[in-house]
Amino acid sequence: MTRGIENLNEDAGGKEIHFVVWVHGLWGNPGHLEYFVEQLDEKHGDQIHILNAKCNTSEYTYDGVDICGERLTEEIMGEYKVLKDRNYKVTKFSIIGYSLGGLVSRYAIGALYDDGFFKEVEPLLFTTFATPHLGIRREDDTTYNKVFNWISSHLLSKTGEQLQLIDKYEDGKPLIHVLADPGKVFYKALSIFKYRKLYANTYNDRTVPFWTAAIVDVNPFDKMDKLNITIDKNWPSIIESIQLKEESSTVDTMTLAKNVPRYIIAGVAAPIVVPIWLTFALSTLTVQSAISRRRVQQIINTRTREGKHVARVSEASPFSIVASDIEEGSIEAAMNIKSLFPSGPTSPITESAGETLGKPTGDFSNMIESCNCQPLLLLQAQKDALKHLNNLKWEKHSVYIDTLNAHGAIVVRNKRFYSTGKDVVRHFVDKVFVT
């Protein structure tokens, strides 16, 4: 099999296939996942059919996880109908979400479950890469977190409200909480997948920090200079284990010297990049706010007339605003400007001695517990979501990519700039993906 409807046979004669869906993130488009899709197709293309979803490209990702999820559901069902019409028998279904795409995927599988899709097709693999499962609200009282919370809640329209857990999706509860409610279709759908797996960046991902991507309430990687890290010898971006360093008064002068260029770049770039970015972003708000609100309301009105899943879709706040048509990566660049300032010497990296192919990488629970970290300040809705999601079995992988923006690198969003993440792609394609 392969990807794209144009490559399908007119009559497959009842051939059984595994339907695999890829979902990009905020500000995204299918091109962000092109390298990943190519690698999966090259390895498993004869057994799978790939849909690299395009229904929520670019500014449409601002309309809310629920609206995006409904669009994705329609695109999946449209592709499924074509497969059936051409006499393919879809026996398995897997979905891989990157960043916001992971939340959109969690919504979409709930809608598919509600529509009876999984009575016909086996839900096999659910995977996320750098997905904010617990939202992105940060309660720590720091200037950076205050600015981050304001930007994400005020510049990203309905989606920003949901990621900040300030929306009232159902019965006064935010969408993040509802998606993880065991009594809702979204959780029920997630629970019936045979495998649930996730990848979480540990370093230089200010967009989606480790704790929310890994569904934990601690961040042992917040102080990288206090850790000894062992990486997988086959995939050097995958962390095998961590240990707290013994107390030492010595300073790693080599690492400090290595980081000097980052301090220089930050000192020069920050006063220039941030004001330009803010001016550019804010200049789009008035027009794009009206467009976003109107678009969401039109969708709700249309669904009301057609009787389609209105109960699953919430209205946008009348005061929400959106920064649309912002050049790819500009918001991430501003959020990641702090990454130019290392918190201290980076950790010594060693390779694991043993062969790990075919076995889970590291013991995630023991690794987290070994850090002896204080729990993060989370909202009660985040704590509830964390508890319910972790009642399900997950295979979790911690990723260490030493680059200024690990959020883009984890899926090799751009082959020219993010080549350091290619071994994460190989890890998934060669080891984690199941057919």
User: Catalytic amino acids?
Assistant: 99
Considering only CA atoms, give the Rg of the chain: 21
167 — alpha (psi -120 to 50), left (phi > 0) or beta? beta
Helix, strand, coil % in the chain, rounded to nearest 5: 50, 15, 35
* Rounded Cα distance, 135 and 180, in Å: 12
Quick one: 424 exposed, middle or buried, by C-beta within 10 A (0-12, 13-18, 19+)? buried
* Rounded Cα distance, 252 and 277, in Å: 35
Beta-carbon contacts of residue 35 (< 8 Å; ≥ 6 apart)? 411, 412, 413, 415, 422, 425
* Rounded Cα distance, 148 and 159, in Å: 15
Q: Structure tokens of 83?
A: 């497969």
Residue 162 Cα distances to 12, 105, 274, angstroms? 42, 15, 25
CB–CB of 120/91 below 8 Å? no
- The enclosing H or E element of 92 equals strand 88-98
* Rounded Cα distance, 297 and 294, in Å: 5
